[in-house]
Chain A
């Protein structure tokens, strides 16, 4: 973060929007007392929060506070890291996502992910999007499915004439939108975005943000960002993570505050949140 913004930083503008009344929200993820340990050392500890359907939930906080670790729990991506272990529960529509009878493959079937660095397959643009549906047996009307996903990801017009070309020839911003299209093509319910714009220039970033805003009509979005303005612009709910430093020098991420975005940025309940969003810390 910029040190020179301590006193001069303009107040963050929060987009005015209607958030669903609390009573109407459908809970997608119910996270209870979640801790993640890497080789026994806690990366995040005792996180409790609920993520709601058709909303954009932003996870913000300083580097190393465990927001990426947290989002990777939501589709069991941490399973792939040797030595990672979780405690607590995550209920996905009431089902224990880490239950012994649940295969991570079926979790990820409904919960897609877009990563920090664009990672298109070394295949054609078309095949990047079509591969997931093909492998998962959704082979009917594949062309339409690919077009729909590319349109949803706001990249169709840029690539419709070169679908057979390699995806690696696209620019970074285009690659990232292609990766979003790839995730959408298998019709997930949730799309997890792990700092999707951090490797992109401002114009590409703005395109991704517009996209996130449009996508929440059909999908539930969780987005990790270290850019507070971005969270303020796109998110309905915002979770602020921070680092808890213990006396013995060990540190782990904790969830400090979770609320409606507007509240987090204008009248946070916790002084640590206030310090972070006003730029006095982090």
Chain B
């Protein structure tokens, strides 16, 4: 029996210590992960708790009243304004972003591709307030504040998001499909439009919607470009239009508690929009991945 001792399967002291450290670290990581979830949960709970009482039909259909004694009215002007501004941004950023991504992924060669990827990363990292002041200097000074100006500013924020996410889904399309298409005598452009883009269409849309969600919540680029607004509900992009993020910002600066409640309500609307878009996008993307997997 003694000569079998060296093959013992019983844990040594060193192994026991390693097991304890391992378990301990696993616990620490689990707590960190739970903390991340808790932050999101707490945030959602707080916004719902404080904001839900502001919600009413009027909240969504009426503009704010300037009457200090009566109700504060609604934020319909801000909802409409955000829709208009984001629509302007989307119309600009979505096609350009997709084209940039298709060019980078499917056409550009090594050096150009790296330069483009780096450019998009830098663009993505530019503080939104800097983009705001850039558009202020570029458009607002020579014209005036408008939803167009704000839309261009948000488009700059959306562009790298759209391009990068599109690149990612294009990369999911296996090269073997491209080869199969080329081997049929199909040109690169027809391969892209007829095969690659349709195969990743869901994913491209997902990236687009996530970028829209992100842009809808941006505040800083609107401060200098689209802040001198009225309480009127207007769909005219050539005018400065109120927006949801700006409503929250301005309401909280007022001493009136009713306006604070309105700010929380607006935050709830914005949060709900972003959450719904995120969840839907994930679902679409998952479907797209399944479609491409063997």
Instruction: Point out residues on A near B: beta carbons under 8 Å.
Output: 75, 77, 80, 82, 104-110, 112-113, 115, 117, 119-122, 131-132, 135-136, 168, 179, 182-183, 186, 188
Contact = CB atoms under 8 A, between A and B. Distances in A.
B183 A108 contact: yes
Interface of B: 109-110, 174, 176-187, 190, 194-195, 199, 291-292, 294
Given A115-B180, A119-B177, A188-B185, 20 more contacts: A80-B182, A104-B182, A105-B185, A105-B186, A108-B182, A109-B184, A112-B183, A112-B184, A113-B183, A115-B176, A117-B176, A119-B174, A122-B199, A131-B184, A135-B184, A135-B190, A168-B294, A182-B180, A186-B184, A186-B185
A77 B182 contact: yes
Contacts of B183: 75, 77, 108, 112-113, 115, 183
Contacts of B187: 105
A186 B181 CA distance: 12
B186 A132 contact: yes
B105 to A, nearest CB: 14
Contacts of A135: 184, 186, 190, 194
B195 A121 contact: yes
Contacts of A107: 185
B292 A122 contact: yes
- The winner among B179, B186, B199, B292 for most chain A CB atoms within 10 A is B186
Interface of A is mostly: helix
30 contacts: A77-B179, A77-B182, A77-B183, A80-B178, A80-B182, A105-B187, A107-B185, A108-B185, A109-B184, A109-B185, A113-B179, A113-B183, A115-B179, A115-B180, A119-B176, A121-B180, A121-B181, A121-B195, A121-B199, A122-B177, A122-B292, A131-B184, A131-B194, A132-B184, A132-B186, A135-B186, A136-B184, A136-B185, A182-B180, A183-B183
Contacts of A115: 176, 179-180, 183
A82 B199 contact: no
A107 B184 CA distance: 10
Given A105-B185, A108-B183, A82 B110 contact: yes
A117 B194 CA distance: 22
A122 B290 CA distance: 10
A179 B180 contact: yes
A182 B181 CA distance: 10
A46 to B, nearest CB: 26
A101 to B, nearest CB: 16
Contacts of B194: 131, 135
B185 to A, nearest CB: 3
Nearest to A82: B110
A182 B176 contact: no
Given A131-B195, A135-B194, A119 B179 contact: yes
A106 B185 contact: yes
